[in-house]
């Protein structure tokens, strides 16, 4: 009987495709918008992910998220280093600076200055060159995405708006009237601000930056062997009165800022809710109509000895099949769209939670519409089959 129930579903082509389209579209909207939201949020803490060596991040207490740099006095570094249990502590500079490109154009760049001695904070994946180039004078490392896009140079210098080529090693930028030579190109995770990132040493970075008494953006800390990271976090915070985060805490603090202080979640939430409503409106309504259309056959079955539970099982099966197909198709299209858009243009990150959320939404739509349909089946009077 299950086969017949499924054939009934597939056989009503117009309604079946309507249900499938509704569920797929709802899944697509929910999963795609949620994936872009997660992708965007994950970009907000890209710097933290790019610096896996640090156990703890120390910042000014008023700093709200990773890009919200509130420079500290350089003495903060010594205070942190003096805390018992600190293995090492290194400075990090982070700030937005205007770079003058070889073509004469200007571009805002995110400059990251890493510890001169250890170079902790430099991206691990170098595409061209080596991190050791930073030991040469005036040298910087740029990331490949910026090299190909915002820092790209016109092929014909006489035509600055014409076709462009990626900027290369050996070419020079000007940062705050100071020469910066590209010594390497690295692969990094895309950032939320989507401006080119420049890596250099801490001392060179503060030289590029406008003069400021406070230059220390963050301090990266490694716990000494055998020292509990959480205990060390609490101890540093207590003794220095600075904010101290584990990488996960810092990432969540950053996400929380964007979630609570911007309209991003509301906008995405509206899109996701619309997807859900589309599913309810189209698929739910279609499935309900499909059951109504088949009510006379269910009535005949009831007359022929089908128990209500048996009929409800058939309706539930039809709903489940439609739900699984709609969900699968929707997630498939979402994944293809996510993978098909080249490069980092689309902040797309489908974590395992997203298919689960989409599945929950589809299950809700299918169960709700099935329950409405089932209500009609339960109330169905089998004697109605004799009424034409």
Partner 1 sequence: MIEPTNSIVCNEVFKTFGVGDSMVRALRGVNLQVRFGEMMALVGPSGCGKTTLISILAGLLQRDEGELAVLGTDPSALSNHERTIWRGKNVGFIFQQFNLIPQVSILENVAVPLLLRHHPKRDALDRAAKLLEEVGLKGRELTRPSKLSGGQQQRVAIARALVTGPRLLVCDEPTSALDGATGQKVMGLIRELTAAAERVVIVVTHDERIYHFADRIAHLDDGRVTHVSTPAEALAESAERMGDAAKRH
* Size of site (CB under 8 A) for partner 1: 29
Minimum Å gap between C-beta 330 and partner 1 is 25
Q: Which of residues 342-381 bind partner 1 (CB under 8 A)?
A: 381
> Of the candidates 237, 264, 273, 385, which one interacts with partner 1 according to CB under 8 A?
385
Give the residue carrying structure tokens 């220390």: 216
C-alpha R_g of the chain = 29
Minimum Å gap between C-beta 283 and partner 1 is 19
Minimum Å gap between C-beta 317 and partner 1 is 13
Minimum Å gap between C-beta 40 and partner 1 is 45
> Of the candidates 102, 154, 166, 382, which one interacts with partner 1 according to CB under 8 A?
382
Structure tokens at 188: 């990094």
> Of the candidates 263, 305, 342, 343, which one interacts with partner 1 according to CB under 8 A?
305
Q: Which of residues 284-303 bind partner 1 (CB under 8 A)?
A: 294, 296-297, 299-303
**Helices (H), ranges, 171-307:** 202-208, 229-240, 247-261, 264-278, 285-293, 295-303
Query: Smaller CB distance to partner 1: residue 8 or 282?
Result: 8
267 lines the binding site for partner 1 (CB under 8 A): no
Minimum Å gap between C-beta 299 and partner 1 is 8
14 lines the binding site for partner 1 (CB under 8 A): no
- Closest of 51, 97, 314 to residue 211, by C-alpha: 97
Minimum Å gap between C-beta 45 and partner 1 is 53
Helices (H) and strands (E) in the chain, counts: 13, 12
Separation CA 255–CA 269 (nearest Å): 15
268 lines the binding site for partner 1 (CB under 8 A): no
For the chain, the helix, strand and coil percentages under 3-state DSSP, each to the nearest 5: 50, 20, 30
Query: Smaller CB distance to partner 1: residue 52 or 305?
Result: 305
Task: Return the beta strands (E) in the chain as ranges.
Answer: 56-59, 86-100, 106-114, 125-128, 139-143, 153-154, 164-165, 172-175, 178-187, 197-201, 218-223, 243-245
181 - beta bridge partners? 139, 172
Q: Which of residues 307-326 bind partner 1 (CB under 8 A)?
A: 307-308, 310
Which element (helix H / strand E) includes 357? helix 353-379
Query: Smaller CB distance to partner 1: residue 77 or 322?
Result: 322
Minimum Å gap between C-beta 314 and partner 1 is 9
Separation CA 199–CA 322 (nearest Å): 52
Residue pair 233/57 in contact by the 8 Å Cβ criterion: no
125 lines the binding site for partner 1 (CB under 8 A): no
212 lines the binding site for partner 1 (CB under 8 A): no
- Closest of 123, 130, 162 to residue 146, by C-alpha: 123
Minimum Å gap between C-beta 298 and partner 1 is 10
Separation CA 357–CA 369 (nearest Å): 18
Query: Smaller CB distance to partner 1: residue 227 or 385?
Result: 385
Query: Smaller CB distance to partner 1: residue 10 or 268?
Result: 10
Question: Which stretches of the chain bind partner 1, using CB under 8 A?
Answer: 1, 3-4, 7-8, 10-12, 294, 296-297, 299-308, 310, 381-383, 385-388
């Amino acid at each position: 009987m299950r086969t017949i129930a499924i054939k009934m579903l597939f056989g009503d082509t117009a309604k079946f495709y309507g249900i499938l389209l509704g569920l797929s579209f709802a899944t697509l909207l929910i999963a795609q918008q949620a994936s872009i939201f997660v992708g965007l949020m994950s970009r907000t803490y890209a710097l933290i992910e790019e610096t896996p060596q640090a156990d703890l991040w120390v910042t000014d207490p008023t700093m709200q998220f990773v890009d919200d740099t509130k420079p500290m006095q350089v003495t903060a570094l010594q205070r942190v280093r003096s805390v018992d249990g600190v293995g090492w502590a290194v400075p990090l500079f982070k700030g937005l600076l205007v770079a003058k490109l070889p073509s004469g154009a200007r571009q805002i760049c995110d400059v990251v200055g890493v510890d001169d001695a250890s170079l902790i904070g430099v991206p691990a994946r170098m595409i061209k060159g080596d991190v050791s180039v930073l030991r040469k004078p005036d040298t910087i490392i740029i990331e490949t995405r910026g090299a190909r896009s915002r820092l790209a140079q016109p092929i014909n210098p006489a035509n600055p708006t014409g076709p462009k080529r990626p900027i290369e090693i050996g070419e020079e930028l000007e940062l705050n009237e100071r020469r910066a030579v590209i010594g390497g190109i690295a692969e990094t995770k895309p950032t939320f601000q989507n401006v080119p990132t420049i890596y250099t040493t801490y001392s060179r970075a503060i030289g590029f930056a406008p003069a400021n008494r406070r230059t220390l953006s963050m301090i990266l800390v490694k716990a000494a062997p055998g020292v509990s990271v959480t205990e060390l976090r609490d101890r540093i915070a207590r003794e220095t009165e600075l904010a101290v985060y584990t990488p996960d805490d810092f990432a969540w603090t950053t996400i929380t800022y964007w979630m609570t202080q911007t309209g991003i979640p509301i906008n995405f939430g509206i899109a996701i809710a619309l997807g859900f409503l589309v599913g309810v409106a189209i698929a739910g309504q279609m499935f309900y109509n499909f059951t109504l259309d088949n009510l006379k056959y269910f009535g005949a079955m009831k007359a022929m000895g089908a128990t209500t539970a048996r009929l409800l099982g058939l309706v539930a099966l039809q709903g489940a099949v439609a739900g699984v197909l709609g969900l699968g198709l929707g997630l498939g299209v979402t994944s293809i769209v996510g993978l098909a858009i080249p490069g980092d243009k689309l902040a797309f990150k489908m974590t395992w939670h997203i298919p689960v959320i989409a599945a929950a939404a589809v299950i809700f739509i299918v169960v709700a519409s099935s329950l409405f349909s089932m209500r009609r089946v339960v109330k169905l009077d089998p004697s109605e089959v004799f009424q034409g």
